[in-house]
């Protein structure tokens, strides 16, 4: 993997992502924003993929000494909705992932976590020698446009502080 922090590489932010909790729609702890006590009481499924998003979540919990009850680790996000829909496990995943899974299944719901977990940026990187190459520029511009058109997918709604039950929190 090249060192993307050098002067040979350019970057552009595509989107900023926040986190949400995915859980069964009829889970007893479900609310727009989960309570700390409930979050710590239940068991969790953790995505153990080496991706940046999960590193942000795990580092956040570790630095604050937050101990979740981890019942299961999975290699990727694809198994999470089936596991969560059929159990009392809760998954903390990027908002867009949680929202999309919940929109595909009435058995799933999205809640804001009880902690303000820092988000992460998704960036586009390219070598500087492609700065002015027309096809590369066209493709970069296309990616930027796609991400700008779908901003709702990356950020959860602002917390309202209430415990109203809604399917996707929107």
- Give the architecture (CATH level 2) of 19-118: 3-Layer(aba) Sandwich (3.40)
| 38 CA to centre of own chain | 20
CATH number of this structure's domain 1-18+119-154, picked from the four choices 3.40.50.80, 3.40.50.1820, 2.40.50.100, 3.40.190.10: 3.40.190.10
Here the tokens at position 120 are 């992460």
Same fold, 1-18+119-154 and 19-118: yes
Q: What is the pLDDT of residues 33-65, one digit of tens each?
A: 999 999 999 999 999 866 667 788 888 999 999
Domain residue ranges of the chain, discontinuous segments joined by +: 1-18+119-154, 19-118
Strand partners, 69: 43
Under DSSP, is residue 9 helix (H, G, I), strand (E, B) or coil? strand
Largest CA-CA distance found in the chain, in angstroms, rounded: 55
pTM of the entire predicted model: 0.77
Q: What is the pLDDT of residues 59-93, one digit of tens each?
A: 899 999 999 999 999 998 999 999 999 999 999 99
Query: Would you say 97 and 77 are in contact if contact means Cβ atoms under 8 Å apart?
Result: yes
Query: Would you say 22 and 47 are in contact if contact means Cβ atoms under 8 Å apart?
Result: no
Cα atoms in the 13 Å half-sphere on the side-chain side of 102: 26
Q: What is the pLDDT of residues 122-168, one digit of tens each?
A: 889 999 999 999 999 999 999 999 888 766 555 565 544 444 444 44
């Amino acid at each position: 993997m090249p060192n993307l922090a050098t002067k040979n590489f350019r970057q552009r932010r595509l989107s900023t992502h926040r986190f949400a909790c995915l859980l069964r729609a009829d889970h007893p702890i479900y609310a727009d924003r989960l309570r700390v006590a409930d979050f710590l009481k239940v068991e969790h499924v953790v995505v153990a993929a080496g991706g940046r998003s999960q590193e942000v979540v795990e580092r956040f919990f570790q630095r604050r000494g937050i101990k979740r009850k981890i019942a299961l680790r999975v290699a990727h996000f694809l198994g999470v909705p089936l596991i969560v829909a059929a159990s009392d496990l809760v998954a903390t995943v990027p908002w867009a992932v949680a929202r999309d899974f919940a929109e595909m299944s009435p058995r799933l719901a999205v809640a804001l976590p009880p902690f303000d977990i820092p988000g992460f940026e998704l960036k586009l990187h390219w070598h500087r020698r492609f700065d002015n190459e027309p096809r590369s520029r066209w493709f970069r511009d296309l990616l930027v446009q796609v991400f700008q058109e779908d901003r709702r997918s990356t950020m959860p709604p602002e917390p309202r502080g209430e415990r109203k039950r809604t399917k996707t929190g929107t």
